[in-house]
Amino acid sequence: MPEGPEIRRARDELAQVLEQGKVTKIFFAFDHLKPYQSKLKNNRIIEVNAKGKAMLIRFSNGYTIYSHNQLYGKWIISPDGKIPDVKRQLRLAIHMQQGAAFLYSASDISVLKEHELVNHPYLSKLGLELLSATTTQEMVKQRLLTFHKSRRTLMTLLQDQRVLAGIGNYLCCEILHVSGLHPETRICDLNQQQLELIADNSFQLTRQSYETAGITNLLSRAEKLAKQGIEFESYRFNVYRRKGLSCYQCGDVIVKGKFSGRMGYCCLGCQPL
């Protein structure tokens, strides 16, 4: 599933094509949304925004298209407006004079008025946005402090969008590894230093992933591996998708398993329970 950094990067690409432009043609695959095609055509798109793992496309007539990529959703930009040749199901197409944007495979799409966004079941419950320009490391620390008495494990709490918006499975595994904490550690068992470490790494790694198109590994190490000809997917992570390989930090074998009911990766040498 795309996580906060991937959705934010998709937002940046969409904004370049859609923002401040007038819609020349729009297509919805779902029948209940087709009536909005005539309502949105010829209207200007005033803003494209990312909230957690959701995309919001605001129109000048007060409507907003909400979409959530879920597991397999993917936005594709077409500068010439031609439909891409991909083996996916087209769900939404927005055509502009300067290009087009296509959303494939996602099914969680709706068209809402401003007052409906406030009470939206996903948007209304989002926690602190890690990639918001106004979010600081101190705010992340204070947010986690409010859950310090909780008996929930870090594996489940960090991926709860109501706590910190944008962290999914790969970010969670990477944050915990860099912090030296086992996925099933309870937040109530952390000392002040560990809590601050989790907060700092949540903030920094999420932003690093956004800025580098998905790299959560140590950047100097990733650069060295890239120069050696290692493929991107093989050097971008510390532990995620590295089952059976040696930990860069301590040399122990990385394990894959279920932690608090969620699949994940960790190094037991660096992250003892």
Catalytic residue list: 2-3, 53, 262
**What distance, in Å, lies between the first and last C-alpha atoms of the chain?**
27
The residue among 220, 229, 240, 253 whose CA lies nearest residue 173 is: 240
Give the Cα separation of 250 and 121 in Å (integer): 43
Q: Which residues of 211-240 are buried (b: 16+ CB within 10 A; e: fewer)?
A: eeebbbbeeeebeebeeeeeeeeebbbbbb
Return the residue matching tokens 């799409």: 109
